[in-house]
Amino acid sequence: MGNAPAAGHALDVLTLLARHSTPLPAGAIARSLGLPRSSTYHLLTVLCDRGYVVHLPAERRYGLGVAAYELGSAYQRQTGLARLARDVLDRLVDTARHNAHLATLHGRDVLYVIEQRAPGRPTLVTDVGVRLPATLTATGLSMLAALPAAQVRALFPSREALVQRDGRGPASTSELRSQLQQVRQRGYAVEDGLITPGLRSVAQAVLDHTGHPVAAVAVTYAETDAPEDGDSQLVAAVDKAARELSRRVAGRR
């Protein structure tokens, strides 16, 4: 294959995988695209090496990899996600009366896109442009919980990929899976003093039209300012903001 046809076929493979909700066998990819099986395996090998495709040996299937997700995240950031979210975060701050922020997933980290301060509240470490380990933050956990299990495995294939702070945070991939299951059952993610002692966050993912997490909305408050009814009112406010932003990016909830 020449370089130009190969590039086109590689894009065809990525487009095909993006249109399916589950990974595909190599044979099915070759048949769908009308490609020789040998050429298909060559393309998949190159795409796997670059991180755009992940191979699931036990299932003998291929799915989108982390690099493909990062491209999608970059597109969302560059096409105005922050502009779409600005007034949503403003209303969230008005309702919650605590600092709010918007973050996107970038590999194993979260990247903070917006921080909106409530009057009289201190500046957080989650300033715009700051990156933090996704497994230690409420925004990160909320987005990871919305990812397919195969993508989470690709991001965190072993305990060496996990980051702890002062001995806290998931210490194994099984512990991470357990935490993400708790997030799904609860409906939102929490972080309690792990990033900044004395501060607690609640977060919820923003989903696009495929159910993929393009961002997360969170509120952070001091433990001394904890609402009398717990997190319920703040969770409701965060949920409303996440739903509105999901609608704006043509999402579904």
First CA to last CA across the chain, in angstroms? Answer: 43
Both tokens assigned to 153: 């495995």
Considering only residues 2 and 145, tell me which one the structure prediction assigns the higher pLDDT.
145
CATH 3.30.450.40 fits 70-248, yes or no: yes
C-alpha 183/C-alpha 164 separation (Å) is 19
**CA Rg value for the chain:** 20
Give the pLDDT of residue 202.
95
Residues 31-64 pLDDT 10s: 999 999 999 999 999 999 988 999 998 889 999 9
Give the pLDDT of residue 149.
92
Write phi, then psi, for 178 (nearest 5 degrees): -65, -45
User: Which of 216, 209, 223 has its CA nearest to residue 241?
Assistant: 216
What residue type is assigned to position 207 of the chain?
L
Mean pLDDT rounded to a whole number for the chain:
86
Considering only residues 102 and 231, tell me which one the structure prediction assigns the higher pLDDT.
102
Considering only residues 90 and 228, tell me which one the structure prediction assigns the higher pLDDT.
90
Cβ-contact 134, 144 below 8 angstroms: yes
Which CATH entry fits the domain spanning 3-64: 3.40.190.10, 3.40.50.300, 1.10.10.10, 3.90.1150.10? Answer: 1.10.10.10
Same fold, 3-64 and 70-248: no
Give the pLDDT of residue 221.
87
Cβ-contact 134, 110 below 8 angstroms: yes
Could you list the beta-strand ranges (E) of 150-198: 189-192
C-alpha 174/C-alpha 177 separation (Å) is 5
Output the pTM of the full model: 0.67
Give the pLDDT of residue 162.
87
Calculate mean pLDDT across residues 214-240. 84
251 pLDDT band, cuts 50/70/90, is very low
Residue 191: is its pLDDT beyond 70?
yes
All residues at 6 or more sequence positions from 125 whose CB lies less than 8 Å from its CB, including other chains: 132, 195, 196
Residues 171-184 pLDDT 10s: 899 999 999 999 99
Give the pLDDT of residue 81.
79
Place of tokens 């909830």: 253
123 pLDDT band, cuts 50/70/90, is low
Give the pLDDT of residue 223.
76
* Mutual angle of helices 37-49 and 3-18, in 10-degree steps: 80
Give the pLDDT of residue 3.
52
Residues 131-140 pLDDT 10s: 889 999 999 9
Cβ-contact 231, 89 below 8 angstroms: no
The residue extents of the domains of the chain are 3-64, 70-248
Residues 71-103 pLDDT 10s: 766 655 545 778 888 899 999 999 988 889 999
Considering only residues 121 and 105, tell me which one the structure prediction assigns the higher pLDDT.
105
Quote the percentage of the chain above a pLDDT of 70.
Answer: 89
